[in-house]
Structure 1
Amino acid sequence: MKQLISRRSFLKAAGVTAAAASMAIGAPAASACWLGDKSDVTILYTNDVHTYIDKQSPKLTYAAIADLKQSYQNAGKDVLLVDAGDHVQGTAYGSMDEGASIIKLMNAAGYDVATPGNHEFDYGMDRAKAIMKEADFPYLSCNWVDLRTGLRVLPSVKVFVRGGRRIAFVGVTTPETFTKSTPAYFMDKAQRKYIYDIQGGEDGKKLYDAVQKAIDKAKLLADVVIGLGHLGVDPSSSPWTSEEVIAHTSGFDAFIDGHSHTVMENKQVQDASGKAVTLTQTGSYFANVGEMTIAADGTITTKLIPTHEGMDAGIAAMQTGWVNTVDDMLGEKIAVGDSDFYVSDPATGKRRIRSAETNLGDFVADGIYAYFNEVEKLHCDLAIMNGGGIRADVPAGDWTFKTCKQVSPFGNVACLMSVTGKQIQDALEFAARFAGEGGKENGGFLQVAGATYEIHTDIPNTVQTDEKNVWIGSATGTPRVQNVKIYDKASGSYLPLDPGATYALAGMNYTLRNLGDGFAMFDGAELIKDYVSEDYLVMATYAMIFDGADAAGLPHLSSANSPLAAYPGYLLDYEQPYGAGRITIL
């Protein structure tokens, strides 16, 4: 009897219904006696939507995906709708109410299960947990653990009975969440110790072990085991990529991925037993919805669908209402851009801001620098901005508050701190540790204002980091970052950084105070001023204090009109997509 109760509890915790649990006890895993004949099952999947809900038909939105799911159901087919993370943050439509409207749309669209991506934590731990409670669908993660209890925060497995078979999903969250969200959110209030872990391990073993344990559990409960992960395939995510997880585990039949924004219709990856596992990802921003078919004979096929003509009218009305509300709130014109501003490289279309200088990187950093010097009237020597916090290209033309919110959607606030030259050197060295490695991206790559520096990519990275990629010590070898210079207004020139001197450094609290992207070298630095303004408002304020007002009274965003143009010798060139030459990569 004790064994029976234990088995029932185990199945119930895994998401199997009470009736199914009763029938499953003592039944062999492959039994079809209670499940009926096998039929095709369709799994629709999304990832990295990032709140891009303002597209028009026939492009995909939640309204279109809801209609697509309903069309399968109307045809008598078994269908599930799942998401692989990063759905509540990215544009003003997510950040203006901290994801609440997005979750309402996902509820209405009929999502069945999701896994949290790193950006689900961007509004803080309390809000992340609240979001998951507001959802009508369960969230899964086999490797998010509460260190105070040693227990998982979320279930690792969810089982559905569809098409005469049991289908289990295993949720996996990227360990990069610590540094690609905000490490302080995973710590106690004093920021002295971690109280949550997203298991990864420096060699990946902690992650692989957590995933294998969840697979083993799923295989006791189901005929088909599918990974629902937010891991990605970028080399910079190693050893925590989906490909590496598959290769170091056995038992997955397929893996629905996110995080790297990769368009991957169907890639076959061998697991540890030599079995081929289907790996798929839709890209990002509703570029596609994935369609996975589990055939009656167990064969798995996938395809990506870029458009759907139908639309659920009720959800479309919800979307339009929220989009209009946000647009009304943020729609006021504040400036005119005379040039295109870039996150990406205009020559290749690839994202550049996480590995090299761009004019938008200069502009955002200059906005922080000018805010303290020109608006707050405080002395600021230099400003830094992580490239991962700058999210969208801006074409020439009208700028609104919404424009600034699209570029800087995270709700971080600017602060000013007194730091040493050594801390600045450590920060730049840490930020440049991946530069030149085959286009490897790093959200912590630093755009700068009031400074210049060189990155020597032929010098190996020797920065010390822990298993979570948080900085723990200076470079042990020759620095990659050299010839750092800080702008001196009095002389109108850039002077060599003095490691022993003290400088007033501005940036977002995400980087300077909350260990964002792993920047821990500022611990103990003196705070001069914090919480002056939210990221997008800092940027908007900078745009509004440009000269060159036109007939409508709107300032024009050109180098000559910047308030920083009055600083003798200050490097400005917003007309050049690659910036003013503040960062030299050798």
Structure 2
Amino acid sequence: MKQLISRRSFLKAAGVTAAAASMAIGAPAASACWFGDKSDVTILYTNDVHTYIDKQSPKLTYAAIADLKQSYQDAGKDVLLVDAGDHVQGTAYGSMDEGASIIKLMNAAGYDVATPGNHEFDYGMDRAKAIMKEADFPYLSCNWVDLRTTLRVLPSVKVFVRGGRRIAFVGVTTPETFTKSTPAYFMDKAQRKYIYDIQGGEDGKKLYDAVQKAIDKAKLLADVVIGLGHLGVDPSSSPWTSEEVIAHTSGFDAFIDGHSHTVMENKQVQDASGKAVTLTQTGSYFANVGEMTIAADGTITTKLIPTHEGMDAGIAAMQTSWVNTVDDMLGEKIAVGDSDFYVSDPATGKRRIRSAETNLGDFVADGIYTYFNEVEKLHCDVAIMNGGGIRADVPAGDWTFKTCKQISPFGNVACLMSVTGKQIQDALEFAARFAGEDGKENGGFLQVAGATYEIHTDIPNTVQTDEKNVWIGSATGTPRVQNVKIYDKASGSYLPLDPGATYALAGMNYTLRNLGDGFAMFDGAELIKDYVSEDYLVMSTYAMTFDGADAAGLPHLSSANSPLAAYPGYLLNYEQPYGAGRITIL
């Protein structure tokens, strides 16, 4: 029997680009057909789900989102379902198969289009591209460019015909992806030059120009133009925030955003022409699904929906099966936490680990430090861990492998390098460049083990960086980071850092070898040992080495039970949410 090929498969086989296909199928010329009377169109939207798929009804899941979309369709309404990025990484449910099951759930839920967030690149460039091919829906980005060809990697625009009108989505990816993912993924194999760019520019102009070009294209094809961006509104993301992009361009009717995890039902932002543009974002972790309505008269309204009673039975079964599989793999109890461990500030609820010390930051860094000193039996002077790599508060109680995987879900691998004291100083200075009461969050803020340091926030930052916020040179003025001390096992004391001395520094390959968060000062450093263990396994091993086993044989995670308690004078205080006082901010 003759095998028939679908139109979509034919287009792929014939080499027709996704952009050309979308224009041919979804955006006929104005003269090609008459669209009739206009009716309301509903756009359901999600952002920053981060693989949180284990919630129970009526809380939101992909099964609930699918049922919600179907309910609109059953009522005869026109509906689209879109996502603004960061959906394949965040918990063990994403990382255990590098997002494959999440994409299957999104396919089943009926997503129509998405834009990649920075965390879509966390499993490497090859995997990021594979994920986008596995999706039944197109990904869009107007500013992700292959520098070898100067062409966009993805289509910039996708047009849908709904409700008697043409609706165009313009995809925008945050230029912060370079440092909030792994810069090495965007470079050649030798890590000598970038072969991909996510256009931004130090002043934002490259980003604004790329977006305006895509808007202009969309306006030729559509009646309504909607930004689908992963940019956010955090001041730390300036000049690449969604508000700044809207203010420096003209032509958007609305903008669905992500990245900053902001709950923003509807904010009116003026574009460059003075027109008010609707900006919206759902928060994160399926806290809400957004509902945007384009009325027959063109009016745009939005609301956020926190729960939905119904669910698609088939998708619910897929979710439950994968959740149970992961839980079975990682559900073994390994320890008991005697205290709450914090990413956030318990007094304010705000995330702290990217700007100051916390007890969980100490714990994770201590795990790396202990792994090399006690498990690998290699000399390690200092361990560092970027705050952005520590993702979840942990309440007192049982710890499992899954607990550690939720804290560190990235799959980075620990390594040990021989570096100079000056390189350590440069790293701490670079990490602290935004610190201070009015400073910006920084995923590269360094939690430390085997070291102490001060940050003098009254001293201006003079670290040299390029337009992608990658380190290119030491501070040119007085350093903000001072009084750095390194723990000396022989004397049981912390001794001043010697810039000319050599130290054994441990951390994740993300930071030490792959330019993660922009740490380029270790280029050329001697590698002592690499690929020893994955991040969550390093942490799990540390937890299992504690003393104080209970009747069930589980060690208890307290300062007194840590193997580092045997190190005279070593700073430990897991009972204090703000840590042991290793980092002093003045």
* TM-score, scaled to structure 2: 0.96
User: Residues 143-154 of structure 1: matches in 2 within 5 Å?
Assistant: 143-154=143-154
In 1, distance between residues paired with 2:12 and 2:146? Answer: 21
Residue number in structure 2 paired with 1:192: 192
In 2, distance between residues paired with 1:18 and 1:403? Answer: 40
Q: 1:27/1:313 Cα in 2 relative to 1: closer, same or farther (>3 Å)?
A: closer
Assess if the C-alpha contact under 8 Å between 1:231 and 1:240 holds in 2.
yes
In 1, distance between residues paired with 2:25 and 2:573? Answer: 70
Q: 1:10/1:534 Cα in 2 relative to 1: closer, same or farther (>3 Å)?
A: closer
Q: 1:24/1:298 Cα in 2 relative to 1: closer, same or farther (>3 Å)?
A: farther
Q: 1:20/1:297 Cα in 2 relative to 1: closer, same or farther (>3 Å)?
A: farther
Q: 1:409/1:25 Cα in 2 relative to 1: closer, same or farther (>3 Å)?
A: closer
Q: 1:24/1:127 Cα in 2 relative to 1: closer, same or farther (>3 Å)?
A: closer
Shift of 1:24: 9.8
In 2, distance between residues paired with 1:10 and 1:171? Answer: 25
Q: 1:23/1:148 Cα in 2 relative to 1: closer, same or farther (>3 Å)?
A: closer
Residue number in structure 2 paired with 1:111: 111
Give SS of 1:448's match.
Answer: strand
Give SS of 1:4's match.
Answer: coil
Shift of 1:438: 2.0
Shift of 1:421: 0.5
Give SS of 1:367's match.
Answer: helix
Shift of 1:127: 0.3
Q: 1:8/1:582 Cα in 2 relative to 1: closer, same or farther (>3 Å)?
A: closer
Assess if the C-alpha contact under 8 Å between 2:370 and 2:542 holds in 1.
yes
Deviations along 1:302-357, one digit per CA (max 9) or x if unpaired, are 00000000000000000000000000000000000000000000011111000000
Shift of 1:157: 0.2
Give SS of 2:194's match.
Answer: coil
Deviations along 1:42-88, one digit per CA (max 9) or x if unpaired, are 00000000000000000000000000000000000000000000000
Deviations along 1:478-498, one digit per CA (max 9) or x if unpaired, are 111010000001111100001
Q: 1:279/1:553 Cα in 2 relative to 1: closer, same or farther (>3 Å)?
A: same
In 1, distance between residues paired with 2:147 and 2:423? Answer: 30
In 2, distance between residues paired with 1:477 and 1:67? Answer: 58
Assess if the C-alpha contact under 8 Å between 1:16 and 1:159 holds in 2.
no
Q: 1:10/1:285 Cα in 2 relative to 1: closer, same or farther (>3 Å)?
A: same
Q: 1:107/1:461 Cα in 2 relative to 1: closer, same or farther (>3 Å)?
A: same
In 2, distance between residues paired with 1:138 and 1:32? Answer: 24
Q: 1:567/1:81 Cα in 2 relative to 1: closer, same or farther (>3 Å)?
A: same
Stretch of structure 1 that moved more, 30-39 or 565-574: 30-39
Give SS of 1:365's match.
Answer: helix
Give SS of 1:25's match.
Answer: helix
In 2, distance between residues paired with 1:72 and 1:328? Answer: 36
Q: 1:8/1:561 Cα in 2 relative to 1: closer, same or farther (>3 Å)?
A: closer
Give SS of 2:506's match.
Answer: strand
Assess if the C-alpha contact under 8 Å between 2:27 and 2:221 holds in 1.
no
Residue number in structure 2 paired with 1:524: 524
Q: 1:102/1:28 Cα in 2 relative to 1: closer, same or farther (>3 Å)?
A: closer
In 2, distance between residues paired with 1:21 and 1:561? Answer: 62
Shift of 1:437: 5.0
Q: 1:162/1:574 Cα in 2 relative to 1: closer, same or farther (>3 Å)?
A: same
Deviations along 1:147-200, one digit per CA (max 9) or x if unpaired, are 000100000000000000000000000000000000000000010110000000
In 1, distance between residues paired with 2:568 and 2:135? Answer: 54
Q: 1:329/1:15 Cα in 2 relative to 1: closer, same or farther (>3 Å)?
A: same
Residue number in structure 2 paired with 1:431: 431
Deviations along 1:436-469, one digit per CA (max 9) or x if unpaired, are 1525210000000000000111111111100000
Give SS of 2:532's match.
Answer: coil
Assess if the C-alpha contact under 8 Å between 1:32 and 1:165 holds in 2.
no
Residue number in structure 2 paired with 1:140: 140
Q: 1:47/1:183 Cα in 2 relative to 1: closer, same or farther (>3 Å)?
A: same
In 1, distance between residues paired with 2:337 and 2:524? Answer: 39
Shift of 1:253: 0.3
Q: 1:251/1:564 Cα in 2 relative to 1: closer, same or farther (>3 Å)?
A: same
Residue number in structure 2 paired with 1:352: 352
Paired residues, number: 586
Stretch of structure 1 that moved more, 199-208 or 437-446: 437-446
Deviations along 1:421-446, one digit per CA (max 9) or x if unpaired, are 00000000000011115252100000
Q: 1:131/1:5 Cα in 2 relative to 1: closer, same or farther (>3 Å)?
A: closer
- The alignment status of 1:334 with 2:316, answered yes or no, reads no
Stretch of structure 1 that moved more, 402-411 or 18-27: 18-27
Residue number in structure 1 paired with 2:503: 503
Assess if the C-alpha contact under 8 Å between 2:18 and 2:138 holds in 1.
no
Give SS of 2:5's match.
Answer: helix
RMSD over equivalenced CA pairs, Å: 4.1
Q: 1:498/1:349 Cα in 2 relative to 1: closer, same or farther (>3 Å)?
A: same
Give SS of 2:3's match.
Answer: helix
Question: Tell me, which stretches of 5 or more residues in structure 1 are unaligned?
Answer: none
In 2, distance between residues paired with 1:103 and 1:419? Answer: 41
Deviations along 1:467-520, one digit per CA (max 9) or x if unpaired, are 000000111111110100000011111000011100000000000000000000
Assess if the C-alpha contact under 8 Å between 1:29 and 1:220 holds in 2.
no
In 2, distance between residues paired with 1:349 and 1:426? Answer: 31
Q: 1:317/1:456 Cα in 2 relative to 1: closer, same or farther (>3 Å)?
A: same
Residue number in structure 2 paired with 1:563: 563
Assess if the C-alpha contact under 8 Å between 2:262 and 2:281 holds in 1.
yes
Assess if the C-alpha contact under 8 Å between 2:344 and 2:350 holds in 1.
yes
- The alignment status of 1:274 with 2:274, answered yes or no, reads yes
Q: 1:384/1:163 Cα in 2 relative to 1: closer, same or farther (>3 Å)?
A: same
Q: 1:263/1:31 Cα in 2 relative to 1: closer, same or farther (>3 Å)?
A: farther
Give SS of 2:197's match.
Answer: strand
Question: Tell me, which stretches of 5 or more residues in structure 2 are unaligned?
Answer: none
Q: 1:236/1:25 Cα in 2 relative to 1: closer, same or farther (>3 Å)?
A: closer
In 2, distance between residues paired with 1:339 and 1:180? Answer: 30
Identity of aligned residues (%): 98
Stretch of structure 1 that moved more, 436-445 or 20-29: 20-29
Shift of 1:27: 12
Q: 1:426/1:27 Cα in 2 relative to 1: closer, same or farther (>3 Å)?
A: closer
Give SS of 1:3's match.
Answer: coil
Q: 1:330/1:83 Cα in 2 relative to 1: closer, same or farther (>3 Å)?
A: same
In 1, distance between residues paired with 2:104 and 2:441? Answer: 33
In 2, distance between residues paired with 1:367 and 1:67? Answer: 43
User: Residues 3-82 of structure 1: matches in 2 within 5 Å?
Assistant: 34-82=34-82
